[in-house]
Amino acid sequence: MSRRIAILGGTGPAGMGLALRWARAGEAVVIGSRSAERAQEAAAKIRERAGAGANIKGDTNAVACAASDLVVMTVPFEGQAAFLKELKASFQPNAILVDATVPLAASVGGRATRTLGVWQGSAAQQAAELVPKGVRVVAAFHNASAELMNGDEPVECDVLVCSDDPEATKVVVELAAKIPGIRGIDAGRLENARIIEEITALLIGLNIRHKGHSGIRITGLPANAYRPL
């Protein structure tokens, strides 16, 4: 079945990196933005780098969301709740919403090396509370460096994927594995998003301390826990 991945808030570094990698992998992508013009400019930049054959376009977040049953959200935590409330009517029934939001304290003027407490447990669980019934929220890509994702080299890290819907988890694990160097790993229920989101704050601290672009690798699991094998 052909599909188009919608990346909402896709004009920032996190969304652009995912769009670039998936466009290169042959996926059809639509970048979403609050401004259709900004989204189209971002899509043109990706096309320049991924090649003229890249299947990528840009539109408003609402149009992009309505056109896809596989939606990725890369907006800052401070905008996440209002954003989802505004888009509520745009989701397809049973859509998958991939949430990469990290509730960094920087959102409220604090440090990027600390996270905020979210009443629901995590940004992803907050998202799950705000989407229409039937939309399946999957937390993923929090620990992948946008800097590396926007480069040309393989991204050497694992992407932990969690949700309360095993079928949706499987789709996103496979999607992660389309990025060279990345392995997607089923990390269990959506409540684990709290831990995965917090790892990002630690990685940012490591990046500052050691001047790098850190990621994580999980070791010791049987080969079939990793995609690709």
Ligand X SMILES: NC(=O)c1ccc[n+]([C@@H]2O[C@H](COP(=O)([O-])OP(=O)(O)OC[C@H]3O[C@@H](n4cnc5c(N)ncnc54)[C@H](OP(=O)(O)O)[C@@H]3O)[C@@H](O)[C@H]2O)c1
Site residues for ligand X per CB under 6 A: 9, 11-15, 33-35, 38, 74-77, 79, 83, 100-102, 104, 141-142, 144-146
- Report which residue type is found at 178: K
Smallest separation, CB 41 to ligand X (Å): 9
Contact 214, 143 (CB under 8 A): no
| Cα torsion angle, 121, 122, 126, 132, sign | negative
Smallest separation, CB 102 to ligand X (Å): 3
- Of the pair 35, 221, the CB lying nearest ligand X is at 35
Smallest separation, CB 16 to ligand X (Å): 7
Length of the chain: 229
Beta-sheet strand order (sheet of 4-8): 56-60, 28-33, 4-8, 70-73, 96-99, 136-139, 157-163, 182-186
- Of the pair 44, 51, the CB lying nearest ligand X is at 44
- Of the pair 142, 183, the CB lying nearest ligand X is at 142
**Chain centroid to CA 163: how far?**
13
Smallest separation, CB 25 to ligand X (Å): 18
- Of the pair 94, 105, the CB lying nearest ligand X is at 105
Smallest separation, CB 1 to ligand X (Å): 27
- Of the pair 34, 94, the CB lying nearest ligand X is at 34
Contact 63, 87 (CB under 8 A): no
